[in-house]
Amino acid sequence: MNKFQLHPRLQQDCFVVGNFALSQLLMMNDSQYPWFILVPQRNDIGEIYQLNDCDRQQLLQESCLLAEKLIDIYQPDKLNIAAIGNLVPQLHLHHVARYKTDKAWPAPIWGKFAACAYPEQEESAHISRLQQSLLGYLGFRQI
C-alpha cells in the first residue's frame, strides 16, 4: 500500500489539525469562515462511493462528530457540508460554519471572495480549541 499523499492544493491552502482513524482534518487558511476539511487517507479516491463500506461508515462518523463540535464551538446559523472536488480531485469533505452576517451569505462561499489568511495567533487558537474538543473521540490525535 502506498503512503497517503495529500493533494498539493490542500497542502498549500490549509493547516493540519490532526488525524482521525480514517481522515486527516485540515483547517482552510481563510479567516472569513470557520472552514474545516476531512480528507480520507486513501490514495486514488475521488468520490465517497469509491470508499469501501467500512471507510464510508467511518467517514460519516467523523463528519458527524466534526459537525457537532463545530456547532458547539462556533454556533453558526448553518453548517454547510459538501464534497465538491472540482478543483481538487482527491476526496475531501468541507465543513463550513456560516452566519447570516458573513459577506457571502446566503450564497455558497466558493469563488465569491479571495481568501483572507489567519493571523498566526488566531490560527493557533482555532486549531487548539478544536483539537481539545476532539481528543478521545474516534481515534483523533494531534500531529
pLDDT tens digits, 98-133 = 999 999 999 999 888 999 999 999 999 999 999 999
Residues 54-113: tens digit of each pLDDT: 999 999 999 999 999 999 999 999 999 999 999 999 999 999 999 999 999 999 998 889
Number of domains in the chain: 1
Tell whether 3 is covered by a domain: no
Tell me which residue range forms the domain holding 62. Answer: 8-142
Tell whether 2 is covered by a domain: no
Give me the residues paired with residue 80 across strands. Answer: 96
C-alpha to C-alpha distances, 20 to 34, 46, 86, 107, nearest whole angstrom:
19, 19, 25, 30
Q: How far apart are CA 118 and CA 78, in angstroms?
A: 22
Tell whether 125 is covered by a domain: yes
Tell whether 138 is covered by a domain: yes
| Domain CATH for 118 | 3.30.428.10
